[in-house]
Structure 1
């Protein structure tokens, strides 16, 4: 009798611990992303000012949890030509990165910040150059407020890629121009500080950087004319539920697309979209453990040509989606309600809804019939098109 009692107590304790763990939800994610420091190293900055900025950046980076597969840091100088002091992944600890920052030398020359931003986009933040897809990207630009070339367009391209931009101005600068260059809201991402008072904002700015590395809500990155990547914090686990993503063109509410993803997913790519178009996105966490509210977002694709030849990522990212057992209504009042749902079996990536199973290169048959019920003709229209031309028809029909 005693062994059976002990076994029952052990099982009860194990179930209680499992239930307690599930109720707590997934653990907070460690910061993970690519952090670039862009320093004004030109002749417009005095040697004293550069030394103070160098010390400031060293204080920022020293406590950061750098490491392979986690947070990575890079330092680029602004001068006549951009110069990389160290690339992403070279240093595996904050202390090593701090030593490298302190050992860096001023480059002098002109203040070609725009050129450095183009360099950062093409050489450091590009996947072809080793950048990690799907991880948060942060740029900290420390400047005396001036630049010899335009900053706005290349900075906007970086922000369109999902880069969060912090700006620290140690000079006067143009408030409106710097506000437009920084990520929104400006009061959180733009700092005007005297070079001798930079230490005052170290803790606040470091906390903001780490927050940007831990996304707190649904957001879009890598926006192109034909698609974008969605990312969100880990709200669920693989065992506690699943997500339903809904994508709706703002001007065509009836053309909704839905996708189910497992609970351990934190990103997804929508592809095959129309250019220069607003899309409403809803992320609905479905769980039988706790109630989680849906998250909503509006994303506008970039202008450009869409279609089979358009550049952009293929749909899908992260863990394989699963087949939807009972599709909820993300826009209904009961979305995310506390329900006991069967755990769906794993399936290959599958899109749900009116355009289920369509990829960027899928084709839809469309029938055309002459008046009077005569012979029908069929044409195939690519999924990304909303018009076509019919030829070879009988005159007067």
Structure 2
């Protein structure tokens, strides 16, 4: 006989994904409905933007527009979400700290005025700055809000490349959840190493900068679902509790429930 504990493992797996054959509470879907449902989420959100020469000013503006769409969806004015920005090329510029702007209108205006500057691709130092400068209490990092970073790049590191993935791993060990967005990448090993796992929910690769617009709802849904009370983890716990109670009350094999 299958115990409810082993059944729970089979049903939800390592990632907490509900078996579609099992009746469950409504699951959030990507898009506007998820954005609406995530008003109770919390997060300290960092955007790390590649401004190397290969990106160019026009495409850099497309990354800013992508970031603005995410900001419009997040509950900034309520204080549930804070946003920081790092821009990197040969150098790293911490352009906005988490506690610097606390309302959506001023934040959108600020993003519009972030300048493009060209150079090489020093992703490692940007990831180090994330740990050393952004996600620290003195610069607005909150102990009760998850740390989330979105790294956007169109190429692999060509400065300190050997440090890139180790820096990302150090951040992940400290609890930072990293979403990697590669634009036009032929080789994805570095963005794979930067991103948190599982890669199918944390690493994205689009053909060009114009395609960023097509994935913004999906990106925000994945960021938000993990952080809000309406997300998958919440429902997984609810369903597990329900199955647990039925098994105990009726002393039955879980497969007899169907």
TM-score (norm 1): 0.47
In the other structure, the counterpart of 1:203 is 217
Q: Secondary structure at the match of 1:90?
A: coil
Match of 1:292 among 241, 244, 249: 241
1:213 is the counterpart of 2:227: yes
In the other structure, the counterpart of 1:141 is 151
Measured in 1, the distance between the counterparts of 2:193 and 2:76 equals 30
In the other structure, the counterpart of 2:178 is 165
> For residues 293 and 154 of structure 1, do their structure 2 counterparts lie closer, same or farther at Cα, with a shift above 3 Å needed?
farther
Paired residues of 1:62 and 1:97 also in contact (CA < 8 A): no
1:116 is the counterpart of 2:126: yes
Runs of 4+ in 1 over 6 A off after TM superposition: none
Measured in 1, the distance between the counterparts of 2:171 and 2:186 equals 21
Match of 2:193 among 180, 184, 207: 180
In the other structure, the counterpart of 1:281 is none
1:125 is the counterpart of 2:135: yes
In the other structure, the counterpart of 2:44 is 34
Match of 1:84 among 76, 90, 94: 94
**Per-residue deviation, 1:36:** 0.3
TM-score (norm 2): 0.70
Paired residues of 1:29 and 1:234 also in contact (CA < 8 A): no
Q: Secondary structure at the match of 1:75?
A: strand
Deviations 1:165-216 (A, max 9, x none): 1111112152233222211121211111111121100111111111132275
1:154 is the counterpart of 2:167: yes
Q: Which has the larger radius of gyration?
A: 1
Measured in 2, the distance between the counterparts of 1:166 and 1:208 equals 9
1:48 is the counterpart of 2:58: yes
Paired residues of 2:97 and 2:139 also in contact (CA < 8 A): no
Measured in 2, the distance between the counterparts of 1:28 and 1:65 equals 8
Q: Secondary structure at the match of 1:100?
A: helix
**Per-residue deviation, 1:134:** 3.4
Higher percent of residues as strand: 1
In the other structure, the counterpart of 2:69 is 59
Measured in 2, the distance between the counterparts of 1:112 and 1:131 equals 24
**Per-residue deviation, 1:68:** 5.9
**Per-residue deviation, 1:137:** 1.2
**Per-residue deviation, 1:88:** 0.8
> For residues 130 and 202 of structure 1, do their structure 2 counterparts lie closer, same or farther at Cα, with a shift above 3 Å needed?
closer
> For residues 234 and 177 of structure 1, do their structure 2 counterparts lie closer, same or farther at Cα, with a shift above 3 Å needed?
same
Cα RMSD, aligned residues only: 3.1
Higher percent of residues as helix: 2
| Equivalent pairs, count | 208
Any gaps of 5 or more consecutive residues in structure 1? 1-26, 219-232, 236-283, 295-332, 339-397
